[in-house]
Structure 1
C-alpha cells in the first residue's frame, strides 16, 4: 500500500522538485506543495489559512502559550492567517514534504448548506478561537490526498479531476475531527467569521494606516468587543498582529526578493527606517542587515 509520504516523494520527482526548499504553487490554484531538507530553530513567521497536510518530517508550532506538534500522516486546519513561531525537524535524507490546500469560501458555504439545510440546524457554536490542533489523517482523507497528488502530476488530470478532488478533501475535513473550524468560518454573523474577514483586509492592506476603530466598525463590533474577540482568535492584540504581519512580510522582501532595508520598510508601511530596524531586531532577534547578507 502506497503511503502519503511515498506519494509526495513521487510527485516531487515527477514535478522536478527534489531540490525545492520552500513552497511552490501547483497546477491547481490554491494548492501548494512544500519541501524542506534543513531543520530550522524556532522563528517567527505567518501561517496562511488553509488545510495543511504533512506527509513527512515534523514541525512544532508555538501560538502564544499553545504548542502544537504535527508530523507524518497528520493535518491541521488554520482557519485564519496567524503570525506564530515554528520550528522544523528534518534532514536531507528525510525532508519535510507537505501540501497546503486553501479553503474556497464559496465551496465551503455550498457544502455547509447541503449538510445543514434550514430544517437541520448547524452544530452548536464552539469557542470562537476554535483552537489550533493536529489530527491523524483518516483513511478517506489520506486516499483523497494521494489521488490529488497523482492528478497534479498531469495537466489533463489536474484540470479535469482536480476540482472534484478538492471538493472531496473539503468535505472530508468539514465532516471530520477538525471540521468545527470550517463551520465557524461559515457562520456569517459569528465572531470568528467576522474576525476572519477583518484579517483578510489586514493581509490585503497591511501597508496602509489601518486603525483599530475602522477594523472594529468593519466587524460591526464595539472597540472593546472587537479587542476581546480578536485576541481570542489570534492570541494577540490587533496592533500586535498588524506589526507582526508587516515585519514577517518585510523579512520575505529582504531574504527572498533581495529588497533593500529602507525599501522593504516603506513597502510594509514604515515611515521611519530606524523604528523599523528596532522593531525588526526585537521581533526576529537579529537586525535586518544580517538577514540581508544571509
Structure 2
C-alpha cells in the first residue's frame, strides 16, 4: 500500500518462487507481447509494453485509473516526493490526472515487460456504488493517495490471466473480457490504498453513474456543457465537476472525448468503416482532428489500428 515514505520499493519475487497463478500470468503476457514496444489488444483499454533496453529519465501523464503488472524487468516511477519501484510479483495502481517521471530498466535478455490497463470511469463508478451498498471496509488510506504498489495475489493474477487468455478468441473477448475487467476493478478498488475513492460514494448515491450515462448518450453533441450535465443529476456545476474529477481522475469533458474515441474504435473494428465515417459517427467535424486524438489515445493512426486488430472476415460461401 502507499506509505508516507518518499521511496516505496516493491521487492522482486523470484520466478521459481512465484505461485502457479502468477507464473501462468507471466507466461501468458510473454506470449501476448509479441513485438517490441506496445502490443494493443482488441479492447483498446488493455495493452502490453515490451522494452528491451533501458529507457532513461522521461516524463508521462496519467489520467483516470490505470493498472500495471510487470512480469520482467522493472520501472521506477516518481510522483512528487514519492518513488515506486515496480517489478515482477507486484501491481501498480495509479489514479488521477497527474504528471510523473519514470526510468525503465530492461535488456534483450531481460526486457521490461508489463501488462497495462485503463479502467473506465463507468466501471469504477458502478463498482464503488456496489462496494458502498455492501459496506465493505478497509483500513484508512493515506489522505489523497494517488498511487499504490502492492503484492500481486493469486485472485488478481487469476483475473488478469483470464483477461489475457480471452484475447485469443473473438467470442471470449466479447463476452468474457468485460467480466474479467469488472473483477479486476473490484479487487483494485477494494485495496486499502483506494479507500479514499470509496469514501466519495455513499450507498445508493448513483448520481455520478447517471452523469456518465448522460454523457455517453449525448457525447456526439458539440454543445454539451458541464452545466447541462450537472442539472440532469441535480448538482451544482462546480460541485459536479469537482466530484467527477476527484472520483474518476478526468474531467467530464475529457470523459466525453474518451467516449467518442471508443465509439469510433468500435466502428473501425466491427463495421469496416472508413476513417471519415468513424470520425463522423463519433461526432467529429474534422477527420484530421479525429486522427490526432485517436493516435494520442490508442498509440496508432485509425486505419493502422483497424488493420492490426480487426478480426479476420470469413469469405461468403
Query: Shared topology, TM-score over 0.5?
Result: yes
Q: Please give the alpha-carbon distance, in whole angstroms, between the structure 2 residues aligned to 1:30 and 1:53.
A: 14
Match of 1:65 in 2: 81
Q: Please give the alpha-carbon distance, in whole angstroms, between the structure 2 residues aligned to 1:145 and 1:121.
A: 22
List gaps (5 residues or longer) in structure 1.
Answer: 206-248, 258-294
Match of 2:48 in 1: 33
Task: Note the C-alpha offset of 1:38.
Answer: 1.3
1:6 aligns with 2:27: yes
Q: Please give the alpha-carbon distance, in whole angstroms, between the structure 2 residues aligned to 1:35 and 1:184.
A: 36
- Please give the per-residue CA displacement for 1:88-140, whole angstroms capped at 9, x wherever unaligned: 011111112222222222222222222222x8487687554214231111110
Which of 105, 109, 113 matches 1:97?
A: 113
RMSD: 3.6
Match of 1:77 in 2: 93
Which of 163, 173, 184 matches 1:169?
A: 184
Report the CA distance shift for 1:114/1:131 in structure 2 as closer, same or farther (over 3 A). Answer: closer
State how many pairs are aligned: 206
Match of 1:114 in 2: 130
Q: Please give the alpha-carbon distance, in whole angstroms, between the structure 1 residues aligned to 2:176 and 2:255.
A: 31
Match of 2:276 in 1: none
Q: Please give the alpha-carbon distance, in whole angstroms, between the structure 2 residues aligned to 1:128 and 1:151.
A: 37
Match of 1:200 in 2: 251
Query: Do the aligned partners of 1:7 and 1:146 also contact (CA within 8 Å) in 2?
Result: yes
1:92 aligns to what SS in structure 2?
A: coil
Query: Do the aligned partners of 1:77 and 1:181 also contact (CA within 8 Å) in 2?
Result: no
List gaps (5 residues or longer) in structure 2.
Answer: 1-19, 203-207, 209-238, 257-291, 301-317
Report the CA distance shift for 1:182/1:27 in structure 2 as closer, same or farther (over 3 A). Answer: farther
Please, what TM-score do these two structures have when normalized by structure 1?
0.59
